[in-house]
Amino acid sequence: MQALTLTVIRDEHRALAAMLRSIPLLLAEHRRHNSLPDFHALRAMLFYVDEFPERLHHPKESELLFPKLRARAPEIREVLDQLDQDHGRGERAIRELEHALLAFEMMGEARRDAFEEMAQRYVTAYLRHMETEEREILPLAVKMLSPADWADLDEAFAANQDPLTGHAAAEEYQALFQKVLAAVPAPIGLGPAL
């Protein structure tokens, strides 16, 4: 039987990766048509990253999962340290990207290239981060953690309830998730195929 924690992490990674990959695709599509993107949808997508992965997902990895692995697998310490550094930079990175989006919206074409380049770097780094967790951390966790460890982790991760993974959005997030889902292509969202 697979631990609930692994399912939650993988589901959240898959949903976030689909949303992140859609950002450069949306931007490229608008560039091809010489049109401006839907700034409202992009703001919603970036706000989602700040509200869910940055505030729910990452802290549980850094504060609960990673310490358990550090205690049992010192050989992975350097990778865990790098992932923790990524988590620590996450809030600043999303703020900088949100600011670049605002600059693009307010200043127009003069700021388009800067935002698109920053968005691509952000997406690439985030996807690489999740790939490292999936390839190196989760398989090691399966080997090293005890049933008691998984019970503690499962209790914590079960509370995440990310709407992009199929959970009902809390009332205050319903409008946000409708915007995000409308912008993100299927199968995660309801947006048009790119």
Closest CA to 164 of 29, 66, 47: 47
In this predicted structure, what is the pLDDT of residue 52? 84
Q: pLDDT band for position 58 (50/70/90)?
A: very high
pLDDT higher than threshold 60 for residue 175 = yes
**Collapsing DSSP states into helix, strand and coil, what is residue 162?**
coil
Q: pLDDT band for position 111 (50/70/90)?
A: very high
pTM here is 0.89
pLDDT higher than threshold 70 for residue 186 = no
26: its two tokens? 């949306």
- Domains in the chain (CATH in brackets) are 4-183 (1.20.120.520)
Residue 191 gets which letter from DSSP? B
What's the average model confidence in pLDDT over 20-26?
Answer: 91
Are residues 68 and 149 in contact, defined by beta-carbon separation less than 8 angstroms? yes
25: its two tokens? 């695709």
What's the average model confidence in pLDDT over 59-78?
Answer: 95
**Torsion angles phi and psi, residue 87, rounded to 5:** -60, -40
Give the number of C-alpha atoms closer than 13 A to the C-alpha of residue 26, restricted to the C-beta side.
24
Helices and strands (H and E) in the chain: how many: 9, 0
pLDDT higher than threshold 90 for residue 123 = yes
pLDDT higher than threshold 70 for residue 188 = no
